[in-house]
Structure 1
Amino acid sequence: MPLNIGCTARPGKGRDNKTGSWRVFYPIFHHDKCTGCGICTLICPEGCIEVKEEKKYIPDLDYCKGCGLCAEECPGEAITMEKEEK
């Protein structure tokens, strides 16, 4: 891969690489509390939260970095962050 001037490597995004292996926390979605607002999908910096059906959001843990933004911004407190056991 050719290098850009002033940069050691080209910038990328998480979808280019599976980044879930280095997270410390992961999100747990509580579907019974979900209002279906979709804020979690908008706020996720990696775009790894999928809508499976109405009010059923599922994170792709291969790409989730465990940042917790989805849990922090969820107005219904339907997402909690749990410690990853490896």
Structure 2
Amino acid sequence: MLDPLISHPKKGSAGKTGEWRVFKPIVDHELCVLCLECHEYCPENVIEVRDGRIWIDYDYCKGCLVCKNVCKMKAIKAEREFY
């Protein structure tokens, strides 16, 4: 049972991104070797593995690009958002 006095992180705990994100990470699945560094360092916990690939939940991704910066294979690129 979880201790009610301790904060437990969960997916998108700060809420949905909305339209204020400037950049979003894009995964190049051809370069990705599933090392999961991006998953380990994602502050929003929005990166997961499904069907043998990395997937990012853009509803909650804040666009901090930590995942891009820690990717040793350079498999994550930044794409500008246009609203």
Same fold (TM over 0.5): yes
Stretches of structure 1 that go unaligned for 5 or more consecutive residues are 1-11
Stretches of structure 2 that go unaligned for 5 or more consecutive residues are 1-8
1:58 to 29, 36, 55: 55
Q: What is the TM-score normalised by the length of structure 1?
A: 0.78
Q: What is the TM-score normalised by the length of structure 2?
A: 0.81
In structure 2, the residue matched to 1:73 is 70
- Find runs of 4+ consecutive structure 1 residues off by over 6 angstroms: none
Match runs of 1:7-26 below 5 Å? 14-26=12-24
RMSD: 1.8
Residues 33, 77 of structure 1: 8 Å contact kept: yes
Structure 2 CA distance, aligned partners of 1:61 and 1:39? 18
Residues 40, 70 of structure 1: 8 Å contact kept: yes
Amino acid of the structure 2 residue aligned with 1:59: I
**Greater helix fraction, Structure 1 or Structure 2:** 1
Amino acid of the structure 2 residue aligned with 1:85: F
Bigger CA radius of gyration: 1
Secondary structure of 2:13 counterpart: helix
Residue identity over aligned pairs, in percent, reads: 46
In structure 2, the residue matched to 1:32 is 30
